[in-house]
Amino acid sequence: MNFHPQILIDASYLLAAFLFIYGLKRMSSPVTARSGIVVAGWGMLIAVLASFLYVFSVEEAAKPHLVVNVVLAAVALLLGLGWAWRSGKKVEMTAMPQMVALYNGMGGGAAAAIAAVELLKPSAEYTLIPLVVTIIGALIGGISLSGSMIAWAKLDGRINGTWRIKGQQALNGVVFLATLALGLFIAFAEHGHAPVILTAAFFVGALIFGVLMTMPIGGADMPVVISLFNAFTGLAVGFEGFVLQNPALMIAGMVVGSAGTLLTLLMAKAMNRSVANVIFSNFGAAGDEQQGEIKGSMKPVDAGDAGINMRYASKVIIAPGYGLAVAQAQHKLYEFVKLLQDAGVEVKFAIHPVAGRMPGHMNVLLAEAGVPYDIIYDMEDINGEFKEADVAIVIGANDTVNPAARTNKSSPIYGMPILNVDQAKQVYVVKRGQGKGYSGVENELFFADNTNMVYGDAQKVMVAMTQAVKSLDGGGH
C-alpha cells in the first residue's frame, strides 16, 4: 500500500477538532478550566505538525518552490510564535482585553491572507460557490483585522477619543457596499481572475471599512466590539476552511463564530444595550442629559473609621469596579478581606456583569490577587443579599451601582441592571475624587443618607483600613 499522508492529516484534524470542543467544554467550569486550555493546546500542536505533511502532496506547480516555501513557513511560524509567546507572558492582566483584540485581529488577517493567496493563483479553476465564500471570508477577515487593530490601539491608549464626522454612517455604508460589490464583481464577472489591482482594491476596501466602523466607538463599548470581531474572525476562518476543504478550520471557525456571537449578545445585554446600538450610536457623546434633582450631600469619612466599622460588622459585601484595578489595589483589598475573615466577618464579592473592561474581567483581576472564586458572586446571585448586609463597600465602581438606573427614566443608564448596594445598612464608596462614571451621569447613591464617601487612592485607602483594624486587634493577639 502506498503512503498516504492525507489520511494522517485528516486523522490529526479530526483529533484536533475533538480536542478543541472538549477543551472549550472543560473551560466552561472554573474547576476544570485550566485543563481545558491545555487540552485545546494539544489539539493545535497536533494540527500544526500534521500540516507539514502537506509537503508530500503539494500541487505540481508548487513543487519547484517547495524548499523555499518550507523554509518560509518554518520562519513565519517561529517568528509569530516567539513574538506572541513573549508578549502574552508579559502583558498585565488589566491590559488583557486589548491583547485579545490584537491576537484576534491577527487571526482575521491570516484568514484574509488565505483568501488573497487563493485569488492570486493564476492557474486555478474556480467554481462559483467556493469563490463567493472566499470573497465573503476575505471581507469579514479584513474587517476583523483592521477593526481589531483600532480596538487594540484605543484600549491601549494609543488613539484617544472618538472620531466622528457628519454623515459617517452614510460614508460607512457606501464603503461597505462598494467593497462588497467589488468582491461580487470579482466572483461573478471575472470568475476570480480579476486584474490584481481590483483584487487589491477589494482588500483595501475591507480594511478601510474595519477602521471606519471602529473609530467612532467609545472605549467603554470596545469589549463588545472585540467580542464581535472575535466572532467575525471565527466565521472568516470557517469560510476559508470550506474553500480549502479543511474540516478542522470549518468546525473550529464556526464553533467560535456562534459562541462569539452569543457572547457578544450577552455582553451587550449586560450593558442594557443592543449590539446595533453599540455600533451605530454615539453613546457618551451627549453628556448633558437631563438630570433629576439630587437631594442630600456627600459625606466624607476617614478610611480608618470605615475599616474599624467593617471589623465589627457581621456581613460585608464588596462591589469592585475597574477603578480598583487601575489603582492596582486588588492585593491590598484581599489582605484587608482576610483580616476581616479572621475576625469572623462574612465577606462576599459582588460582580456586576460589566465590571472591569469586559464580562469576567474583574474575576480575572481578583483571581490574580488570590481571591478564591467561591466568595465571588454574580449580580443575580447576590443582589438579594444586600438587604442583610451590614456594610456594602464600593471600590472604583460608579454606573454599575447607580440607583438612577432603576428610577430615573431620563437617565442614559435607565434600565441597566445594577448592584443593589444602596439596600445595605451602611454604604462606603471608595473614590479618587468627585467625578462621574463613563456615562457622565451623577450618582445619587453618593448622596444617600446611608452612604459615606472615602476619598483617596484605592490602594492607600485599603492600606489605611488594614492598619486601623490591625492596630485595633494588635493588643488582643
Catalytic residue numbers read 399
Query: Using CA atoms, how far apart are residues 209 and 207, in angstroms rounded to an integer?
Result: 5
Query: Using CA atoms, how far apart are residues 426 and 233, in angstroms rounded to an integer?
Result: 47
Q: Among residues 250 and 454, whose Cβ is nearest to another protein?
A: 250
What is the size of the binding site for another protein (CB under 8 A)? Answer: 131
Q: Among residues 190 and 305, whose Cβ is nearest to another protein?
A: 190
For 57, list phi and psi in degrees, rounded to 5: -135, 30
Contacting residues for 148 by C-beta, under 8 A, at least 6 apart: 101, 102, 104, 105, 108, 210, 226, 229, 233
Q: Among residues 337 and 405, whose Cβ is nearest to another protein?
A: 337
Query: Using CA atoms, how far apart are residues 229 and 301, in angstroms rounded to an integer?
Result: 45
Shortest distance, CB of residue 145 to another protein, whole angstroms? Answer: 8
Reported as type and span, the H/E element at residue 201 is helix 196-214
Report residue 295 as a C-alpha cell: 437631594
Report residue 380 as a C-alpha cell: 443575580
Report residue 474 as a C-alpha cell: 494588635
* The binder of another protein chosen from 36, 219, 321, 437 (CB under 8 A): 36
Q: Among residues 249 and 429, whose Cβ is nearest to another protein?
A: 249
Query: Using CA atoms, how far apart are residues 328 and 366, in angstroms rounded to an integer?
Result: 10
Shortest distance, CB of residue 469 to another protein, whole angstroms? Answer: 21
Give SS3 for 313. Answer: coil
| Span of 23-31, 167-175, 185-193, 406-414 interacting with another protein by CB under 8 A | 23-31
Residues 412-441 that bind another protein (CB under 8 A): none
Residues 143-202 that bind another protein (CB under 8 A): 196
Residues 226-255 that bind another protein (CB under 8 A): 226-227, 230, 233-234, 236-238, 240-242, 244-255
* The binder of another protein chosen from 378, 390, 457, 473 (CB under 8 A): 378
Of 302, 462, 342, which Cα lies nearest the Cα of 396?
Answer: 462
Shortest distance, CB of residue 166 to another protein, whole angstroms? Answer: 34
Angle at the Cα of 333 (from 431 to 349), degrees rounded to 5?
Answer: 90
* The binder of another protein chosen from 205, 304, 359, 456 (CB under 8 A): 359
Shortest distance, CB of residue 162 to another protein, whole angstroms? Answer: 23
Query: Using CA atoms, how far apart are residues 37 and 48, in angstroms rounded to an integer?
Result: 16
Shortest distance, CB of residue 68 to another protein, whole angstroms? Answer: 7
* The binder of another protein chosen from 16, 155, 279, 401 (CB under 8 A): 16
Contact status: 31 vs another protein (CB under 8 A): yes
Query: Using CA atoms, how far apart are residues 241 and 316, in angstroms rounded to an integer?
Result: 52
Query: Using CA atoms, how far apart are residues 272 and 130, in angstroms rounded to an integer?
Result: 39
| Span of 61-69, 154-162, 422-430, 441-449 interacting with another protein by CB under 8 A | 61-69
* The binder of another protein chosen from 15, 116, 211, 308 (CB under 8 A): 116
Q: Among residues 257 and 437, whose Cβ is nearest to another protein?
A: 257
Q: Among residues 329 and 441, whose Cβ is nearest to another protein?
A: 329
For 454, list phi and psi in degrees, rounded to 5: -110, 100
Give SS3 for 225. Answer: helix
Shortest distance, CB of residue 48 to another protein, whole angstroms? Answer: 6
* The binder of another protein chosen from 190, 368, 390, 457 (CB under 8 A): 368
* The binder of another protein chosen from 15, 21, 301, 308 (CB under 8 A): 21
Q: Which amino acid is at 152?
A: W
Q: Which amino acid is at 396?
A: G
Shortest distance, CB of residue 372 to another protein, whole angstroms? Answer: 4
Q: Among residues 135 and 248, whose Cβ is nearest to another protein?
A: 248
Residues 322-341 that bind another protein (CB under 8 A): none
Contact status: 93 vs another protein (CB under 8 A): yes
How buried is 370 (Cβ within 10 angstroms: 0-12 exposed, 13-18 middle, 19+ buried)?
exposed
Q: Among residues 207 and 236, whose Cβ is nearest to another protein?
A: 236
Of 385, 390, 401, 384, which Cα lies nearest the Cα of 437?
Answer: 401
Site string for another protein, 254-293 (x = CB under 8 A): xxxxxxx-xx--xx--x-----------------------
**From the CB of residue 5, how many other CB atoms can be counted at a distance below 10 Å?**
14
Shortest distance, CB of residue 91 to another protein, whole angstroms? Answer: 7
Q: Are 191 and 131 in contact (CB under 8 A)?
A: yes
